[in-house]
Amino acid sequence: MTLVLKVGVDGWVVECCLAPPAVGHDVEWLLQFHEQATMPFADNESLQSLEATASRRAEWDGLTLHRVPMMLRCGGADLYWESARPPSDAQLLTGTITLAQHGEAPQDFPTVQGRIRRVRMAHTLYEEQPPDSRSWTPVRPADVRYEELDAAPKSFLDHNPGTSPARFSNSVLVELQVP
């Protein structure tokens, strides 16, 4: 059975140092899992439930305080996970998966190889909090609209529209088919 992972890729990562994800491209990425409870701004479309086995990893310098470094193995993919508690061996987990491009996971962690089968731009609704602060936060519950793309852009126009609430297009949701 083929595994399909929904992977969130921030626009700044593409702008910095990643070829824009495109349908049909083969990629090799280091991926990180985030439990639903730790992602208050995640929308239902980006959430994914995975049957996985978990094994503890050695602590490393970039580990988040009060977290347990774990490897989740699901199908042909190994995902890095910083758990709030040591989990049981096999379990069903719900959360989001993101590209770990800038030190969010140990450098020696296994990568995941796959083929991109879908790319969607996320247009997320934000509000300015507090008003007139120029500090923008996604609304809760999450309000995200998706636009089908053949490929992500290299530049994400993420500007202050001046009025709150406003939609920002600052990430893509990629479906990665893992053999």
Chunked in runs of 10, what are the mean pLDDT values of the chain (179 residues)?
Answer: 92 93 98 88 91 89 85 93 78 91 89 98 90 85 93 83 84 96
- HSE-up (13 A, CA, CB side) for residue 69: 13
Q: Looking at residue 88, what is its pLDDT?
A: 67
C-alpha 150/C-alpha 27 separation (Å) is 15
| pTM listed for this prediction | 0.91
Q: Looking at residue 89, what is its pLDDT?
A: 67
Neighbours of 161 (CB within 10 A): 12
Strand locations in the chain, DSSP E? 3-10, 26-29, 31-35, 48-56, 68-74, 77-83, 90-99, 112-128, 136-138, 144-149, 166-178
Contact by Cβ (8 Å): 81, 33: yes
Contact by Cβ (8 Å): 76, 179: yes
Per-domain residue ranges of the chain? 3-117, 122-170
Phi, psi of 108 (to 5 degrees): -90, 10
CA 40-43-45 angle, 5° bins? 145
Q: Looking at residue 98, what is its pLDDT?
A: 96
CA 18-179-56 angle, 5° bins? 75
Q: Looking at residue 140, what is its pLDDT?
A: 85
